[in-house]
Structure 1
């Protein structure tokens, strides 16, 4: 899906080392991976809030001078800009489901199902 939407490359999992990693999931396992795959001096930007557990090795952060930066919310101006931008996006990859399917879909995703990539619930 990432390549269909314009990414130069995509993989089922990260390998190697990176200068910056964005974790938009916020699970202990993704936070742990975001810190473990940083180069010394790199930064992990945490956006996701799936669970409160940090899940990372603090010793690795200190010894390798890695940074963990949290980011939450947005200003009204940021939201307005995002709303304007999304108007021109190709959203053909978004799947629509009846509202009553919401609990089943989200439970399935929480348990590791890879699809749907994005679900829109319609009343």
Structure 2
């Protein structure tokens, strides 16, 4: 007899802001960017105006990050090496990737909350 197939899991689409935030975080976390403490981010055709502006706003509001707008429309993000106390060890140089990821995540949550109130 025929086997009954399980219903395929529903695929959840990622929002434009989530996709862009993930891309920016991945670029910042890249080993080369970590070593040089800067990265240039180019806007893709798939990045919406609203999402691009929100991500730039989050970066600009992060005290530890320096944002430079380039002539070609890209942005360069720079950061200084920070001393961080790590449990069981002395201070170590650290990137700001976790702080940055949290800021992007917070910005994404605020953006989603703001859109939820539109039209209420």
Same fold judged by TM-score > 0.5? no
**TM-score normalized by structure 1?**
0.25
Higher RCO (C-alpha under 8 Å, 6+ residues apart): 2
Normalized per residue, the structure richer in helix is: 2
TM-score in terms of structure 2 length: 0.26
